[in-house]
Amino acid sequence: MTTNPPLLVRPEPAYAGIGSRSTPAPVAAFMEQMAWRLARGGYKLRSGASAGAETAFSRGCTNAGGSREIWLPHKGFNGYDESGLVPGDHHHAMAAKVHPLWKYLSPELKQMVAGRVALILGDQMRRPVEFVICWTQDGFDGSAGAGVATGHSHFSIMLAASHSIPVFNLSHTTSYQRLLAYLRRRHQDQYIHRVATSSTI
């Protein structure tokens, strides 16, 4: 008697959609459009429930019927009324290792930082996102130059960059084309054609 080998299920690819609460309306509209198209292309969204960029990504993904993980510092954050995910002890342990000012943070900020660890690296920290799309006023992408204008996205971007995860900050006019080039390299040619001919910023 022969048995069939077990099917290998490819993990669903995920990206992080984050950014400033004060993301300009045209950029937020573009984020919503991109989230819709990425969801239709099979990508899972990982995000939070803050106003601005994260709300736009979540709305676009939801409208497309896409899969998403919404990480909260605590249940009910920002009035979020769905069953969001909250960080565990292992996320706190990792955050304590990598955040340079961890011991000075308030308990609430520690919860937020731990949630960003989960957002970027995954529930068990074994499936990081493939890339990050964001907007910050200063265009920070993990290289030099972060300042107060980066806002609450600073840690997420730094964590992604430290794990060699591409960061596409839409504050730069070249980021959209760089994102398209990246996705082409990921062999998403048919999907890319639809995005490239339908999206503008």
Residue spans of the domains in the chain: they are 14-196
User: Which of 144, 158, 138, 170 lies closest to 57, judged by CA?
Assistant: 170
Whole-prediction pTM value?
Answer: 0.85
Burial (0-12, 13-18, 19+ Cβ within 10 Å), 199: middle
**Contacts of residue 26, Cβ cutoff 8 Å, sequence gap at least 6:** 201
> Can you read off the two tokens belonging to residue 4?
């069939």
At 145 the pLDDT is 62
Burial (0-12, 13-18, 19+ Cβ within 10 Å), 21: middle
Q: Where are the alpha helices (DSSP H) in 48-196?
A: 53-63, 89-98, 107-121, 154-162, 175-185, 189-196
What CATH class does 14-196 carry?
Answer: alpha beta
Per-10-residue mean pLDDT of the chain, 201 residues long, equals: 47 91 95 96 94 96 96 88 86 95 94 96 94 94 69 89 95 92 73 53 52
At 201 the pLDDT is 52
